Amino acid sequence: MTDCLALKKSNCKNCHKCIRHCPVKSIRFSGEQAHIVTDECILCGQCFVVCPQNAKQVVDETEKVKVLLNSGSPVIASIAPSFIANYEGVGIEVLREAMKKLGFYDVEETAIGATIVKTEYERLLREEHRDILISSCCHSVNLLIQKYFKSLLPYLADVVSPMQAHCRDIRRRYPDAKTVFIGPCIAKKDEADHYSGIVDAVLTFDELTAWFKSRNIVLTRTAESNDESRARFFPTTGGILKTMNLDMPDYTYMAVDGTDQCIEALRDIERGGLKHCFIEMSACKGSCIGGPVMDKEHRSPIRDYVAVENYAGKHDFKVVQPPLSMIKKGFTTIQHDKPMPTEEEIRAILRQMNKFTPLDELNCGTCGYNTCREKAIAVFQGKAEITMCLPFLKEQAERFSDTIFKNTPNGLIVINDKLEVQQINPAAQNILNIRQASDVLGAPVVRILDPKDFVQVLETCRGIYNQRKFLAEYQRYVDQTIVYDKECHLLICIMRDVTAEQKAQDDKEELSRNTIEVADKVVDKQMRVVQDIASLLGETVAETKIALSKLKESIKQ
């Protein structure tokens, strides 16, 4: 199968929305990025439609078509009958004129091929008396049966799709022509590649619209009518049945749309619950007018149905029914089997997700899988990661947060905007001499702390950080931080017990004061001694001076 869908990794936000909407869970998550599992995908396009980040891209074949237009061969477009819903009020003649400006030789309606296909369905029921016949117009339904309901392949109509029938008819009339199908379906790109030599390229309505805009081509509304166009009903739910002659006795005719409904119907057939019936199946809800690329934002099922009904005629297109060899189509099984885990391996993975009993398996669906066991199998097959489980992540985060809350040496108190205690950790209980948390939970904070700072933070929405406080009632010093969480309407008080630190600082300051006092006393004492010594020295010098003076005078004499 070709890669018709690509992923823009930078856009993927790991929201799991694509896997939740994927009917066959063909998406693998690795490194917090989604990856399409090509061999399991049925190209229904739901991941493309629901992705909120536009991380899924349809492979654009516009340049390929431009190359065909420059090849010299006439290029004829087959446009799906859902065009009248996508381009509201725009008939085939206006589209033909617009597309000829792009370089197309001609444009025809795929409904011509649909007439050929429905005629063959009628023949199979009338002449071959098929017990159960499932329409093969929808390539996604075909892939669903080929990959997931292989035992039901004999019931799948071995008939080409309207796209293929029409393009083969074009090639019959124009042997050297190149054919381009244009419609609302991603799967048609794969169908054209897989069955080569019939359709040369496929464009979506999105791609055609973008091409028109780049060439400044504006489509105008017009009133057209053609009574020989009953097959234009094909893109609606039950549209195939509306074009068929439902005259086979004892046959049940039914239409099923949406992949989930198709899967349930196929399971019914597997169980033997259906017999002698013709089933029109379409993977898209509302059939083709609900296609994934009906200009991606285009979702108006009622208005679209009315547009198709008003444009469709009451009689069939006049076509030349080709020989059976031109419209027969064989289907083979497509293998995609992945290894299946044993029961013990499944349980081991469930245990890693903290699911030990059936009661633990909540099946919340956040990961995208229908059951926890399906998720465990996907983990074993490498398609999912254990961390995709929201309850697991929630429990892990709560446990991690709870561990920090209980074991941090800082006191933590959580208070609501009514100044009532909501949480208190063991460290805070120890600081405030609280025996049990239940003694204060729900109580006004004034019971344990001065509320002035809390009121200030609540009114100003400005936090207080590392404020040294002395809690006289508890004979404790703390560095207190109070912050306000606006989203949660909670005040968070963080207290670091610095009593020992403050006491050590006070002791140091006391020691310094005592040292200074002792030094002062020593200095005073020393000064007194110095003064006494100076006094004695002064008297001795005076007496010596007097004696020397007398001696001097005696010598002179």
Q: What percent of the chain has pLDDT over 70?
A: 92
Quick: pLDDT tens for 448-485. Answer: 999 999 999 999 999 999 999 999 989 999 999 999 99
pLDDT at residue number 2: 58
For residues 271-295, give the mean pLDDT. 90
Quick: pLDDT tens for 96-114. Answer: 999 999 999 999 999 999 9
For residues 544-550, give the mean pLDDT. 61
Quick: pLDDT tens for 123-139. Answer: 999 999 899 999 999 99
CA distances from 550 to 359, 417, 540, 543, 557 (A): 124, 100, 16, 11, 11
pLDDT at residue number 551: 59
SS3 call for 34: strand
For residues 504-517, give the mean pLDDT. 84
Quick: pLDDT tens for 214-250. Answer: 999 999 988 777 888 899 999 999 999 999 998 888 8
Confidence band for 82, pLDDT divided at 50, 70 and 90: very high
What is the sign of the dihedral through the CA atoms of 255, 257, 262 and 264?
negative
Q: What is the pTM of this model?
A: 0.72
Asked whether the predicted pLDDT for residue 296 surpasses 60, the reply is no
For residue 264, the tally of other CB atoms under 10 A from its CB is 11
Phi, psi of 316, deg, nearest 5: -75, 155
Asked whether the predicted pLDDT for residue 490 surpasses 80, the reply is yes
Asked whether the predicted pLDDT for residue 1 surpasses 60, the reply is no
Quick: pLDDT tens for 369-401. Answer: 888 888 888 888 888 877 777 666 666 777 777
Quick: pLDDT tens for 21-64. Answer: 899 998 888 777 888 888 899 999 888 888 888 888 888 999 99
**DSSP-assigned beta bridge partners for residue 414:** 423, 492
**What's the one-letter identity of residue 268?**
D
421 vs 519: which has the higher pLDDT: 421
Q: Are 18 and 48 spatial neighbours (Cβ–Cβ below 8 Å)? A: no
SS3 call for 47: helix
